C-alpha cells in the first residue's frame, strides 16, 4: 500500500477509535425508564477456528475479552491481539478466568482455516470466530461495532482490500453481560491492571 494510503488508513482508524471509544461510554440505558445497563453484547452463533459451531452460551462461567478485526489487517489487529496476549500472560493464573476471543468482520476471506492460522500467532487459548455475513452483521450490531469494506486502491486485485472497523476491547462477565471496555492504544500494563481489578 502506498505511504499516502497508509497514512489515510491510519487517520481513519484513529478517528473510528475516538468515536467508538466515546460511544461506548454513553451506550447505556439511563434516565427515566432506564436501568443503567450497558447496551453492549447479546446472543450469537458463530463458527470457531476448528469448524465447530459455538454460541455465547458456550462461554458462560468465564470472562470474555473480545476484539473485532480481520486477518488481513496490517497493523491495528495484530498489535491489539499482542497486547491482549501479553496482558493475559502477566495475569498468571488469574488470566485463566478470561477467554480471549477474536471475531472477524471480514467473513468473505476469514474462513475457519484462515482464522486457525491467524490466532495461532497469539495467545494459545484464543478463540477465533467467523460466520456468514449475516452472522457477523448480527454480532457486530449487538456489540455496537462499526465495520465497512474500504475502497480498494487503484489496480488492486479483487480480493485485495482493507476493512475499516472500530477498535475496542470488550470485557464481558461470566454471565455474558458487559463489564468494561478498553480503547485502542491501551498498553499492556494498563490492560493488565484493568483486568486484574475485575477478575481478582
> What HEC string does 16-54 produce?
HHHHHHHHHHHCECCCCCCCCCECCCCCCEEEECCCCEE
The answer to whether residues 29 and 39 touch, using CB atoms and an 8 Å cutoff, is: yes
Give the structural domain span for 23. Answer: 3-199
**Grid cell digits, residue 161:** 482490500
Nearest-angstrom CA–CA distance, 186 and 182:
7
Domain count for the chain, please give it: 1
Range of weakest confidence among 31-35, 52-56, 149-153, 185-189: 31-35
Closest by Cα among 13, 76, 47 to 134: 47
pLDDT at 184: 92
- What is the pTM for the complete model shown? 0.81
Domain CATH number, residue 172: 3.40.30.10
Question: Is it the case that residue 42 has pLDDT exceeding 50?
Answer: yes
Amino acid at each position: 500500500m502506498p505511504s499516502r494510503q497508509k497514512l489515510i488508513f491510519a487517520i481513519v482508524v484513529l478517528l473510528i477509535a475516538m468515536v467508538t471509544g466515546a460511544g461506548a461510554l454513553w451506550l447505556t440505558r439511563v434516565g427515566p425508564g432506564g436501568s443503567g445497563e450497558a447496551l453492549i453484547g447479546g446472543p450469537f452463533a458463530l463458527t470457531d477456528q476448528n469448524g465447530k459451531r459455538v454460541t455465547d452460551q458456550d462461554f458462560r462461567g468465564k470472562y470474555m475479552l473480545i476484539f473485532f478485526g480481520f486477518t488481513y489487517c496490517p497493523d491495528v489487529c495484530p498489535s491489539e491481539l499482542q497486547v491482549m496476549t501479553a496482558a493475559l500472560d502477566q495475569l498468571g493464573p488469574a488470566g485463566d478466568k478470561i477467554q480471549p476471543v477474536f471475531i472477524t468482520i471480514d467473513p468473505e476471506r476469514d474462513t475457519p482455516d484462515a482464522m486457525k492460522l491467524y490466532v495461532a500467532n497469539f495467545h494459545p487459548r484464543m478463540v477465533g470466530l467467523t460466520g456468514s455475513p449475516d452472522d457477523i452483521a448480527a454480532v457486530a450490531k449487538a456489540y455496537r461495532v462499526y465495520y465497512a469494506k474500504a475502497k480498494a486502491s487503484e489496480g488492486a486485485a479483487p480480493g485485495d482490500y482493507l476493512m475499516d472497523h472500530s477498535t475496542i476491547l470488550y470485557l464481558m462477565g461470566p454471565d455474558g453481560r458487559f463489564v468494561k471496555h478498553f480503547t485502542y492504544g491501551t498498553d499492556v500494563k494498563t490492560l493488565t491492571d484493568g483486568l486484574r481489578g475485575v477478575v481478582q
